[in-house]
Each structure stands twice: as C-alpha cells, then as structure tokens.
Amino acid sequence: MPQAIPILSDKDDILDIVTTFFNAGKTKNVAPLSVIQLDDPRFSAYSDVPPFDLKDFATTSALEQLRFVSISDYDFELKNMRVDIFENFAIVTFNVKQSGMIVDNYSFRGQHMTMESRATFVLGKYAKWKIVHLHLTKISE
C-alpha cells in the first residue's frame, strides 16, 4: 500500500514559502522565487536595499536574483515569526538577519555584510499560497 503524503497546514505552507524565499540566497537557485510570488500587475514590493521605490513583479524578480546570486556565503536567520491567516490571505511578520560576502567580480575583492531587517509578507491563496506583497525595512544600527 502506498504511503500517504502528509498534508501541510496553511501555516506550514506559508512558513515554507518564507523559508524558500531566503533559501534562494543560500542555494543560488532563484527559480523557486517565480513560483512562490504572484506574477500579476497587483504584486508589489519594497526592499531593504536600494532602490527603495515600490516595485512590480518583473523588477522585483530581477533585483532578487541579482541580490541573491551576488552574495557568497549567504546565510539568514528568521526571528519572531507571526502568521495571521484570514480566509484567502495571510500576513507574515518577522525579523530577518542576513549575512554574507558581497563580491566585486571586477576587483575580486569582497566586503562582509550583516544586516537585520523587519519584514512583512502578504500572501494570497489561489490554487496555492503566493506572495502578493513584501516589505523589508533595514533596522538602523
């Protein structure tokens, strides 16, 4: 008899999406980012690194890919996670500490980076949960 695959709860699905987002920096596999974010004109994002303007899906995707692949030895820690689920949307708030080495490919020099940010991810439930808005704000040092 085949073994049943456990079904994750909505909260587990949502936490998995948040972890998948930051794992793109560790694995350098950015393909999952386009799966977990809603490719739609209603998608929006604010980042904790310049440029700070409100971005659409295409711009966000390009900047996330550039960010995650240009930081070597990337690591992250998620803290103070809170997930609030409403009928067909959810709000996830947390702090994220990110670190790594930003490498300048032209000079072959690197600069160590550590930064802590507050984060809010808003997800909508379509066939699966998808990020429809994200907002990261760097915490002043």
71-85 and 89-104 strand pairing: antiparallel
- Cβ-Cβ contacts under 8 Å for 92 (sequence gap 6 or more): 14, 15, 18, 81, 82, 83, 84, 119, 120, 121, 122, 123
Q: Pick out the chain residues at pLDDT < 70.
A: 1-8, 104-109, 141
Q: What is the pLDDT of residue 106?
A: 63
The answer to whether the CB of 134 falls within 8 A of the CB of 64 is no
Query: Structural domains in the chain?
Result: 10-138 (3.10.450.50)
Secondary structure (3-state) at 14: helix
Please write the tens of the pLDDT for every residue from 58-85.
Answer: 999 999 999 998 899 999 999 999 999 9
**pTM for the complete prediction?**
0.89
The reported pLDDT for the residue numbered 110 is 75
DSSP secondary structure code for residue 107 in this structure:
T
| pLDDT recorded at residue 3 | 55
